[in-house]
Amino acid sequence: MEKKTPNKYNICLTYGTFDMFHFGHLSLLLRCKNQCDQLIVGVATDKYNKFKNKESFQSENQRFNFINMLPLVDKTIYEHNFSIQWKKDYKKYKANAIIMGDDHVGELDYLIKEGLNIIYLKRTTGISTTDIKEKLKCKKYSFFIQEKWIETKNIFNRINKNINKNDHFSILGISNKIEAHYELYQFWNNSKKVDLIFFFDDIEEINLLKRKINYWKKLKG
């Protein structure tokens, strides 16, 4: 149901949790951006996820910061409750369309009656946050911490050289202070052994994620 047109929309909205950001997320956002000149992304809050009976490994701040630093995203907002805020967002940002993954096909058709353009894009097959959580549950994991951009190439070389992807789940935490985020994705695309990348403000965020992962592995093991 992906819209095939040479004419891009001016402004598009999309929403999601974006927990444990992976290639499927990136692919979807790239195709969202291909539909418009300006892409606004709504990141679900922890409170909204709890309302939907969803639990994220990463806090809303971590997820928000990651999406906000993607070069292809023009603006990041919080999603507090889609059914309540979509009309306000659509009007406030003068959007031309709302884009969602095809796992929501039909769910937003009622908005067409409100005069909205709704686009459903195909999800990337073979990868999802659920799949990543299952892999993490069954594998050992290794954390790599990067606080300076100059460390990027060496860290990715270490990951590619030393980590057996069949045995390990590789997590790379990167300081929010690093500016060269666009180059980061080039390295990520070249390193198929990095399962999860996230940005952090301080070391306590990393320790919190470690505790959460250990608790979840123990609970699910």
Residue 185, both tokens: 């994705």
Residues 143/206, Cβ–Cβ less than 8 Å: yes
The pLDDT tens digits of the residues spanning 108-163 come to: 778 777 778 888 888 777 677 777 777 777 777 777 777 776 776 777 777 776 66
Written as one letter, the residue type at 84 is I
40 DSSP assignment = E
The span from the CA of 83 to the CA of 52, in Å, is 12
Q: Given this model, what pLDDT does residue 202 score?
A: 79
Q: Given this model, what pLDDT does residue 25 score?
A: 84
Q: How much is the mean pLDDT over the chain?
A: 79
**In 131-195, which ranges are E strands?**
140-146, 168-175
Which are the contacts of 161, defined by CB distance < 8 A and separation ≥ 6? none
Written as one letter, the residue type at 42 is G
Q: Kindly report the pTM of this predicted structure.
A: 0.75
The span from the CA of 82 to the CA of 98, in Å, is 11
Residue 215, Cβ neighbours under 10 Å: how many? 10
Question: Which residues participate in catalysis according to the annotation?
Answer: 52, 54
Residue 214, both tokens: 């250990």
Least-confidence region, from 26-30, 86-90, 115-119, 147-151: 147-151
Written as one letter, the residue type at 56 is S
Short-list 157, 116, 136, 96, CA closest to 216: 136
The pLDDT tens digits of the residues spanning 163-203 come to: 665 667 777 777 776 665 556 656 655 555 677 777 777 77
